[in-house]
Amino acid sequence: MFKLTSIKSVITLSLFFIIGFSSMGNAETTVSAEVQYIFNTFSFLVCGFLVMWMAAGFCMLESGLVTTKSVSTIVAKNIGKFSIVAIIFYLGGYNLAYGIPEGGFIGSFTPWTLTDSLEQGYSGSADWFFQMLFVAATCSIVSGAVAERIKIWPFFIFSAILGGLIYPITMGWQWGGGWLAAAGFSDFAGSTLVHSTGGSAALAGALLLGSRTGRFDAKGVPKALQPFAASSVPLVTLGVFVLWLGWFGFNGGSQLALGTFTDAVAISTIFINTNLAACGGVMVAAIVPRLLSGKTDVIMMLNGAIGGLVAITAEPLAPSPLAAILIGGVGGLIVVLGTKLLFAFKIDDVVGAIPAHLFAGIWGTLAVPLTNADASFGAQLIGVLAVNIFVFIVALIIWTIMKNTMGIRLSKEAEKLGTDVAETGVIAYAIRD
C-alpha cells in the first residue's frame, strides 16, 4: 500500500512539474511588462559591471606597456579620468546626447535627472550607469597613446571635454536619434562612436605632443628595447584578458534588453561572435609578424585581440561565427599594418591605441553591410567620416589651446626622470629600468 501511494505521489509531482514547465514555455510571449522591466534593468546593471572592469583592463594594459618610470602616473590618470567623466556625464553629457531632437545635431547641456516608468522598459538609472561607462572607455583610449610625456592635469581637462562634450555630441548623432540615425548609419556598440572617437582624439594628441625623447633614432627607426621596454608583459596580458571579459558586457549589454526569448538568443550570439572575433585578431596578429620578421610578437598578439574586439563591435549580432572570425582577423591585420604606418610617420603611440581602436574601428564599421542587409556602405562611410573628422578637428583645437596656454608636455628633464617622479612623486617599482 505504501509503495502504491508513493508511486501515485511521484506521478502527481511529475505531472505538476510537466504542467508547470509547459506553462512557462507558453507564457514566453505573455510575460508581464514588469517582469521585462526587471530583466532588462538587470541586464544593464550586470553588463555595466563587466564594462566597468574594462577600466581596470585599460589601466593594467597601459601600466604594463609603459616603462617602469611611468606606472604610477598611468594609475593616477586612469582612476582620475574615470571619476571626472562620471561627474561630467551626470552634469551635462547624458542630456547632450539623449536630449537631442530627432534627426538633430546636439542636445542640451543640463544635469541628468531620473525619469522612470514601466512603459520605458528599463530603469533610467541603470541606463545612465551603463552609458557612463562607455564614456570612460572612450577616454581610456587616449590615455595610453599620449603616455610618458603628457602632464597629468591637462590630460584630466581634456578628458572632461572629451567625455562631457565631444563624445556625447557624436554619440547623440546615432544612439540619441540624431542625424546619423536618420541617415541609416549603424553602429551597434560603438566601433566608431566609442573606439574611433577615442582613437581620433588620441591621434590629435599624439601628433601635437610629438614622440617621447629618443623614441626614434636618427634614421627614424623606433627603439624597441631599452630604454623603452614595456614594464610588464604579464600585466599587459592580464589587462587584455580583463578587457576581453568586459567586452561581453560592452557588446552584449548593447542589445539593451533581456526580457524576451529573442533578446536572450541575441545576447548569446553576441557573446560567441565577440569571443571568436578576438580569437581571429590574435591569430592573424601572431601569423603575420612571424611571416614578416620570423618572430612571434606577443605584444602584437595582445593588441590583435583588441583590434578583433573593436572590429566586431559595430555589428556583433548579424555575422555567422565564421564571419566574426574573419572580421576580427582583419582587425588583427590592421593592428599590425597600422603600427608600421605610425612608425613610418614617427607617431609615438605608446600602447598601440590608434591602430587597435581608430583603424580597426573604421574597418568594423564599414564591414557592417557585409553581414547586415539593412545597412548601406554609403551611410556607414558618411558616419565614419563625419565622426572622425569632427572629433579629430575639435580635439586638435583643444589640444592646441592647452598647449599654448598651460602647456601639455613635460620638460625633457622631467621626462628623463620619469612621469612618476615628476607628476605623482610615487615610484611604482623598487627596481627600475
Whether 13 has a pLDDT exceeding 80, the answer reads: no
Please report which confidence band the pLDDT of residue 25 belongs to, taking 50, 70 and 90 as the band edges: very low
Whether 397 has a pLDDT exceeding 70, the answer reads: yes
Q: How far apart are CA 265 and CA 242, in angstroms?
A: 24
Cβ contacts of 361 within 8 Å, gap of 6 or more: 191, 192, 194, 195, 196, 199, 310, 311, 313, 314
String of DSSP letters for 34-83: HHHHHHHHHHHHHHHHHHHHHHHHHHHHHHHHS-TTSHHHHHHHHHHHHH
Q: How far apart are CA 395 and CA 250, in angstroms?
A: 25
Q: How far apart are CA 315 and CA 312, in angstroms?
A: 6
Closest CA to 127 of 164, 160, 94, 82: 94
Task: Report the percent of the chain where pLDDT is more than 90.
Answer: 84
Whether 292 has a pLDDT exceeding 70, the answer reads: yes
Buried b (16+ CB within 10 A) or exposed e, 200-232: bbbbbbbebbebbeebeeeeeeeeeeeebebbb
Unique residue bearing C-alpha cell 577615442: 198
Give the tens place of pLDDT for each residue, 337-374: 999 999 999 999 999 999 999 999 999 999 999 999 99
* Between residues 283 and 1, the one the model is more confident about: 283
Q: Residue 222: what pLDDT?
A: 74
Q: How far apart are CA 265 and CA 268, in angstroms?
A: 5
Q: Residue 4: what pLDDT?
A: 46
Amino acid of residue 42:
F
Whether 171 has a pLDDT exceeding 60, the answer reads: yes
Q: Residue 320: what pLDDT?
A: 98
Task: Report the percent of the chain where pLDDT is more than 70.
Answer: 91
Q: Residue 127: what pLDDT?
A: 94
pLDDT, averaged across the chain = 91
9-23, 188-202, 257-271, 303-317: least confident range? 9-23
Q: Residue 227: what pLDDT?
A: 63
Give the tens place of pLDDT for each residue, 225-241: 566 788 999 999 999 99
Closest CA to 349 of 161, 134, 204, 217: 204
Q: Residue 226: what pLDDT?
A: 60
Cβ contacts of 373 within 8 Å, gap of 6 or more: none
Q: Residue 278: what pLDDT?
A: 98
Closest CA to 224 of 214, 234, 232: 214
Give the tens place of pLDDT for each residue, 51-85: 999 999 999 999 999 999 999 999 999 999 999 99
With 0-12 / 13-18 / 19 or more C-beta atoms within 10 angstroms meaning exposed / middle / buried, residue 81 is: buried
Give the tens place of pLDDT for each residue, 120-169: 899 999 999 999 999 999 999 999 999 999 999 999 999 999 999 999 99
* Cis status of the peptide bond prior to 319, with omega within 30 of 0: no
Mean pLDDT of 370-386: 98
Q: Residue 23: what pLDDT?
A: 42
Please report which confidence band the pLDDT of residue 224 belongs to, taking 50, 70 and 90 as the band edges: low
With 0-12 / 13-18 / 19 or more C-beta atoms within 10 angstroms meaning exposed / middle / buried, residue 253 is: buried
Q: How far apart are CA 308 and CA 288, in angstroms?
A: 15
Mean pLDDT of 237-248: 98
Length of the chain: 433
Fold type of domain 10-424: Ammonium transporter fold (1.10.3430)
Mean pLDDT of 418-427: 92
Unique residue bearing C-alpha cell 604579464: 234
Q: Is 177 left (phi over 0), alpha (psi -120 to 50) or beta?
A: left
Residues 134 and 392: beta-carbon distance below 8 Å: no
Q: Residue 126: what pLDDT?
A: 95
